[in-house]
């Protein structure tokens, strides 16, 4: 296992038991067993580490481009529910480095890249850009509220609801 993975795994374990604001770099160092200089060789801060953790987890769910979007969203909600204690804390972090800010940016980039690839272009028209911004904001807000309510809707249904919220003109290009 590589050093970065030790650090990310320690961070994940700490997030299950502690609010993000209470986690210190020293706690991460103690649990991961790495030195301070090793930590900072890989991450500039615990915020950058949080972003790396989010990215690695979401990348696992989105690497199969052949998977249908409906299935991908179902698997995403299943993953969130399985890791509820972590995500319940993550959605409560505020600010620029928050999980919700990360997820918006990640989602927008992901859907934008899908659009650009499908249309073999480098420019997203203004109407599509607005639709993508609306889609990503809506998905992120709905997901946050679902988590805050304790994942009260079955994961399959929640994934389907998120899929059905994708505007038809965007959905057609992402198939």
On the question of pLDDT at 66 being above 70, the answer is no
Q: Give the residue, 139 or 20, on which the prediction is more confident.
A: 139
- Of 1.10.10.60, 3.40.50.10800, 3.10.350.10, 3.20.20.450, the CATH number of 3-46 is 1.10.10.60
On the question of pLDDT at 65 being above 60, the answer is no
pTM across the whole model:
0.76
The pLDDT of residue 63 is: 67
Mention every residue, 6+ apart, whose C-beta is less than 8 A from residue 100: 91, 93, 140, 144
Q: Give the residue, 60 or 53, on which the prediction is more confident.
A: 53
pLDDT per residue as tens digits for the range 87-128: 888 888 887 778 888 889 888 988 898 889 888 999 999 999
Asked if 10 contacts 28 with a C-beta cutoff of 8 angstroms, the reply is yes
pLDDT per residue as tens digits for the range 130-175: 999 999 999 999 999 999 999 999 999 999 999 999 988 888 776 5
- Of 1.10.357.10, 3.30.70.890, 3.90.550.10, 1.10.260.40, the CATH number of 64-174 is 1.10.357.10
Average pLDDT over residues 55-63: 73
Asked if 83 contacts 155 with a C-beta cutoff of 8 angstroms, the reply is no
Nearest to 148 by CA among 77, 87, 76: 87
Q: Please give the backbone phi and psi of residue 73, each rounded to the nearest 5 degrees, phi first.
A: -70, -35
The pLDDT of residue 151 is: 97
Half-sphere exposure of residue 140, counting CA atoms within 13 Å on the CB side?
20
Residues of the chain with CATH 1.10.357.10: 64-174
The pLDDT of residue 83 is: 82
The pLDDT of residue 99 is: 81
pLDDT per residue as tens digits for the range 27-46: 999 999 999 999 999 999 88
Tell the burial category of 58 from Cβ atoms under 10 Å away from its Cβ (0-12, 13-18, 19+): middle
């Amino acid at each position: 296992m590589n050093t970065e993975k030790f650090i990310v795994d320690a961070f994940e374990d700490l997030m299950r038991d502690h609010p993000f604001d209470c986690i210190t770099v020293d706690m991460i160092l103690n649990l991961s067993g790495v030195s301070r200089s090793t930590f900072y060789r890989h991450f500039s801060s615990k915020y950058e580490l949080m972003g790396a953790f989010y990215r690695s987890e979401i990348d696992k769910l989105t690497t199969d481009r052949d998977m249908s979007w409906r299935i991908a969203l179902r698997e995403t909600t299943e993953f969130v529910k399985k890791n509820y204690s972590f995500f319940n804390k993550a959605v409560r972090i505020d600010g620029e480095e928050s999980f919700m800010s990360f997820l918006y940016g990640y989602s927008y980039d992901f859907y934008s890249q899908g659009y650009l690839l499908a249309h073999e272009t480098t420019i997203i028209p203004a109407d599509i850009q607005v639709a993508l911004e609306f889609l990503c904001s809506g998905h992120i807000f709905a997901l946050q509220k679902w988590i805050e309510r304790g994942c009260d809707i079955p994961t399959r249904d929640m994934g389907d609801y998120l899929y059905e919220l994708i505007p038809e003109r965007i959905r057609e290009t992402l198939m």
